[in-house]
Amino acid sequence: MLEQIKKTLTDFDTEILELNSSDELETIRIKYLGRKGILSQLFDDFRKLTGNDKPIIGKTLNQAKIDITNKFNQVFEKFKSGTKASDFYIDLSLPGRKSLVGSKHIITQTLDEVKNIFKGLGFSIYEGPELESDYNNFEALNFPDDHPARDMQDTFFVSEKFLMRTHTSPVQIRLMKEKKPPLRAIMPGKVYRNEALSAKSYCLFHQVEGLLVDTDVTFAELKGTLVSFAQQLYGKDVKYRFRASFFPFTEPSAEVDIWWEQQGKEGRWLEILGCGMVDPNVLLNVGIDPEKYIGYAFGMGVERMALLKYGIDDIRLLFDNDIRFLKQFISV
């Protein structure tokens, strides 16, 4: 009989929450509290019981009647004020709902790790606007007028003189104009390029540029800095290579590749950053004497860093906002 009482309480709680009118409330009163209702029938059955369990059953049945009567009266009073039962009724016997706590996006996690590594290497952090002038984005960085990056097919131009920055290198220009050497800083932020979407490319991504300007700077120091960074991010056994390359604002220039292995797939080299010694023309454009100062610069894509670090095979997954994907990378 204890199971019958428990079921009656459960059924009542369910039905009272689904009420939409006072007529339905009256129906429930008759069903449970009426002279021929369920509770009356339970009391009739109780009187026929014998045995040692009768006191416990009687106490449980009396409490069930009190609970049902109180809940009914609460709902009745609310209905008189025009409120539905489901709008206010709380069953305190139900288990609590677990609170969902947000987490940093995987891109933010990777970016934070990159920034912390470079801060440990003595670099400061500077940021700049995403809407940039053609001068800071191209001309001051030694891009010729006929460079393909100035074409509408590669860059989001807002007007003839302004565009959505294609790299965070313009922050280097702003920094060198505002401060005198020695300089040691990284510039993280979003960049925009008019590119076709693919597993390895996206029209919006995050970049971290780095700049060091001083009187005694060598390419060997640049290489050592980047190798130390790669080993801290990917582990001491990371496989890397430097390849000769070309960038308008550095000379000599190089690209750094990391060996990318995916389970069940053939490994391959994936380019993660470009670097080189700052071109003397760039220093002249910002009023720094290239005869006295020399520098190095580098730029890396944060999304590609994340692909390598977490074994992700498609950059588009980072922007789809699929909670099933993002839950795999919840930060603690």
28-70 confidence digits (pLDDT tens) = 888 888 888 888 888 888 888 877 888 888 888 888 888 888 8
Question: Distance from first CA to last CA of the chain, Å, rounded?
Answer: 49
| Residue whose C-alpha is closest to residue 128's, from 178, 184, 175 | 175
Query: Coil, strand, or helix at residue 273?
Result: strand
| Residue whose C-alpha is closest to residue 188's, from 303, 270, 106 | 303
Q: What is the Cα–Cα distance from 177 to 287, expressed in whole angstroms?
A: 7
Strand stretches in the chain, DSSP E: 124-125, 131-133, 162-164, 183-192, 204-214, 240-247, 250-260, 268-278, 294-301
**Percentage of the chain surpassing pLDDT 70?**
94
Indicate the helix (H) or strand (E) that contains 28: helix 22-33
Q: How confident is the model at residue 180 (pLDDT cuts 50, 70, 90)?
A: very high
Q: pLDDT value at position 263?
A: 66
For residue 89, pLDDT over 70 is answered with no
Q: What is the Cα–Cα distance from 329 to 208, expressed in whole angstroms?
A: 21
- Average pLDDT (210-219) is 95
Q: What is the Cα–Cα distance from 57 to 318, expressed in whole angstroms?
A: 59
Q: pLDDT value at position 152?
A: 55
221-239 confidence digits (pLDDT tens) = 999 999 999 999 999 999 9
214 or 89: which carries more pLDDT confidence?
214
Structure tokens at 284: 């002249």
Q: In what order do the strands lie in the sheet with 240-247?
A: 124-125, 183-192, 204-214, 294-301, 268-278, 250-260, 240-247
Q: pLDDT value at position 255?
A: 95
DSSP 8-state secondary structure symbol assigned to residue 157: B
- Average pLDDT (105-114) is 94
Within a 10 A sphere around the Cβ of 199, how many other Cβ atoms? 12
Contact present, 16 and 28 (Cβ < 8 Å): yes
Structure tokens at 176: 């060198």
Distance of CA 19 to the CA centre of its chain: 41
> What CATH class does 106-329 carry?
alpha beta
For residue 116, pLDDT over 70 is answered with yes
Q: What are the residues whose beta carbons fall under 8 Å from the beta carbon of 164, sequence distance 6 or more?
A: 130, 131, 132, 155, 156, 158, 191, 192
Q: How confident is the model at residue 90 (pLDDT cuts 50, 70, 90)?
A: low
